[in-house]
Chain A
Amino acid sequence: MEQKQLDQLSTDLFRPAAGRGDLEQIGRPSLSYWKDAWLRLRKNKGAIFGLIVVIVLTALAIFAPMASKNDYHTQNLSLSKLPPKIPVLEKVSFLHVDGKDKDGFDVYKAKNIKENYWFGTDDLGRDQWVRVWQGTRISLLIAVAAALIDLGIGIIYGGVSGFYGGKVDNIMMRIIEILIGIPQLILVILFILIFKPGVSSIILAMIITGWTGMARIVRGQMLKMKEQEFVMASKTLGAANSRLIGKHLIPNILGPIIVTTMFTVPGAIFTEAFLSFIGLGIAPPQASLGSLVNDGFRFLQTYPYLLIIPSIIISLLILSFNLLGDGLRDALDPKMRK
């Protein structure tokens, strides 16, 4: 009886309840991992400062030497040891960029030089502005190249070791343990003694032991990840090893990899500078930040700007990479949030 009545109800009598659609809508847009990370990174003032400084310094390193009409190697003794002079900032007295030397003597006026050398000139009359940015370029090039090659070797070695596990892993890890035991600096020094100091030999020397850190991290992550359900699911569906590694494992361990690379770069900048100090750095007339600081020490008492400016740039560069790395570590790993 009731059934019959229900059947008689026509569909025209129904209409959708109001507001129903809103309830089913997802309140917030879904965020991908990277968007989420970026949102977190953006809140970290230190990291954003680091990011901006890294971008600005990199841009200056690339474009400043090109934009200047001076180059980094032409010597002109009549222009030697000019103090820095920057047009607008010269009025700010504590910056000492007014073209006067430490006794307050205006060298530019005395020598009747019209051009402004923003960072002054060195003892051979080379434009320090160009040399500093050229040096930054070399330092960055060495550091980034070393970090990227470390990354490549580390991913392959650590990936293979972690993915296959067992005997392969055991042997590969013993090799790493022994390599880690050798002090890196000693190897680097020996290496550069044999292959003459230069950009490529310095990069090569840094890689020799540098990749072990990355390999260990990749291996650790691999071991953790490959036991997870989504990998098992993919395996059950018949995915090949290459697909497992490329599509599932590597993308999931990108976070720690990026963070490690971020910390490798300042380390490499420091190592390069260190090599300059013990006389194994970039050979003149080429310059790196380290060699400029090292040269600056000779003029500590007389022309301190030759030491101070490159020192500030190298510190700022390392500081920014560290801040950015710290920020990325927090941003890419939600578990690490305070």
Chain B
Amino acid sequence: MLRYTLQRIVYMLITMFIIATLTFFLMKLLPGSPLKSQDKLTPEQITIINEKYGLNDPLPVQYVHYLGNLAKGDLGSSFQYDNRPVTELIGNRIGASAQLGFQALILGSIVGLILGIIAAIRHNTIFDYGATVLAVLGISIPSFVFAGFMQYILGVKLQLLPVALWEGFSYTIMPTIALSGFVIANISRFMRTELLEVMGSDYIMLAKAKGMSGTGIIIKHALRNALIPVITIIGPLAVNIMTGSLVIEQIFAIPGLGEQFVKSISMNDYTVIMGTTIFYSALFIFIIFVVDILYGVIDPRIRVAGGKK
């Protein structure tokens, strides 16, 4: 286990390093510079600014400098937002995004688990088919389409919920539901398969033979074992929520990290793009890492270190 964890940490660092390097050189390749658009600057001013940001240094020097700053957690400062540090910009925005993400993940997991359990227990009944149809729809309908329809029906037509902005709990309902659709669909589908498989195993038969009641078996034996593999998909789903929030925040005008990222793309604010990219990547990689390790810790049947994929 320890060896596996260490190996994963090394991989994580290598991946982070590659991402940082890639981002740096890709940004250097970008056509144009944020300074060129400002015609008002005299050549002298441009030289001063270039000097200040170290843009005149040879590329390798800039690169080493950049990696050094990165290691210290310094992501540079924005070109557009009055030189404010990127970390500060991210810090200001992360709250709304995190709230939205957690709400969606929790709602999606709870509803998904319930649907999956119902579908598995009432296997091959109308409940099962209903849950399956919901799952297929949830996977197929993109979150932005779902968001659009909700905005139109609940917001514009029925005026039940605010159409956009971020000013209280009622504002979070529609974006949360829109983001959780994919989570619900995936978890319910996965839970159903896992639970059905567990229900068919020998130890469940043994429990039945010993005269345990149906609900007792499900709660004490089946659910516990079926839940373990579900943990594996929480990681990819969390990543999906983060990417989904880029679009959802845009649609609902939520002042989150995603909205700022999209804005910085359209404004060519390179340091913010770079900083946010690295921040997102680190978060992605960290979540997947935690989930993998958790899985190894929780499931006694699997000892990842020895096994092969």
Among A87-95, A234-242, A253-261, A310-318, which stretch is in contact with chain B? A310-318
Contact residues in B for A307 (Cβ distance below 8 Å): 148, 152
CB distance from B167 to the nearest CB of A (A): 19
List 18 additional contacts besides A181-B15, A315-B140; criterion CB under 8 Å. A181-B285, A182-B15, A183-B280, A189-B277, A190-B23, A194-B26, A270-B142, A277-B262, A296-B148, A300-B152, A307-B148, A311-B148, A315-B141, A315-B145, A319-B136, A322-B136, A322-B140, A326-B136
Q: How far is the CA of A186 from the CA of B243 in the complex (A)?
A: 9
User: Interface on chain A toward B: helix, strand, loop, or mixed SS?
Assistant: helix
CB distance from B7 to the nearest CB of A (A): 10
Contacts known (A178-B11, A193-B265); A277 close to B144, Cβ less than 8 A: yes
Contacts known (A189-B277, A280-B265, A304-B152); A266 close to B140, Cβ less than 8 A: yes
Total chain A interface residues with beta-carbon distance under 8 A: 39
CB atoms of B14 and A323 under 8 A apart: no
Contact residues in A for B145 (Cβ distance below 8 Å): 293, 311, 314-315
18 interchain pairs (CB within 8 A)?
A: A181-B11, A182-B18, A183-B243, A185-B243, A193-B26, A194-B26, A270-B142, A273-B144, A274-B144, A274-B243, A274-B246, A280-B265, A293-B145, A296-B148, A297-B251, A300-B156, A307-B148, A308-B152
A36 at the A/B interface (Cβ < 8 Å)?
A: no
A-B contact number at CB 8 A = 113
B188 at the A/B interface (Cβ < 8 Å)?
A: no
Q: How far is the CA of A232 from the CA of B90 in the complex (A)?
A: 59
Q: How far is the CA of A311 from the CA of B143 in the complex (A)?
A: 11
A333 at the A/B interface (Cβ < 8 Å)?
A: no
Nearest neighbor of B133 in chain A, beta-carbon distance: A46
CB distance from A165 to the nearest CB of B (A): 13
Contacts known (A181-B12, A279-B266, A322-B136); A273 close to B142, Cβ less than 8 A: yes
- Shortest 10 CB-CB distances between A and B: which pairs? A181-B15, A319-B140, A311-B145, A183-B284, A277-B247, A318-B140, A278-B262, A315-B141, A190-B26, A185-B243
CB atoms of B18 and A190 under 8 A apart: no
CB distance from B271 to the nearest CB of A (A): 13
Q: How far is the CA of A327 from the CA of B31 in the complex (A)?
A: 46
Contact residues in A for B156 (Cβ distance below 8 Å): 300-301, 304
Contact residues in B for A304 (Cβ distance below 8 Å): 152, 156
CB atoms of A177 and B280 under 8 A apart: no
Contacts known (A182-B19, A183-B284, A307-B152); A315 close to B142, Cβ less than 8 A: yes
User: Interface on chain B toward A: helix, strand, loop, or mixed SS?
Assistant: helix
Q: How far is the CA of A288 from the CA of B243 in the complex (A)?
A: 20
CB distance from B257 to the nearest CB of A (A): 13
Contact residues in B for A326 (Cβ distance below 8 Å): 136
CB atoms of A278 and B29 under 8 A apart: no
Contact residues in B for A323 (Cβ distance below 8 Å): 136
Q: How far is the CA of A308 from the CA of B145 in the complex (A)?
A: 8
Q: How far is the CA of A319 from the CA of B18 in the complex (A)?
A: 36
B139 at the A/B interface (Cβ < 8 Å)?
A: yes
Nearest neighbor of A190 in chain B, beta-carbon distance: B26
Interface residues of B in 228-282 (CB under 8 A from A): 239, 243, 246-247, 250-251, 261-262, 265-266, 273, 277, 280-281
CB distance from A179 to the nearest CB of B (A): 9
Contact residues in B for A194 (Cβ distance below 8 Å): 26, 29-31
Contact residues in A for B261 (Cβ distance below 8 Å): 278
CB distance from A209 to the nearest CB of B (A): 12
A181, A277, A279, A311: the one contacting B149 at CB < 8 Å is: A311
CB distance from A325 to the nearest CB of B (A): 11
CB atoms of A279 and B262 under 8 A apart: yes
Interface residues of A in 158-202 (CB under 8 A from B): 177-178, 181-183, 185-187, 189-191, 193-194
Nearest neighbor of B29 in chain A, beta-carbon distance: A194
Contact residues in A for B251 (Cβ distance below 8 Å): 277, 297
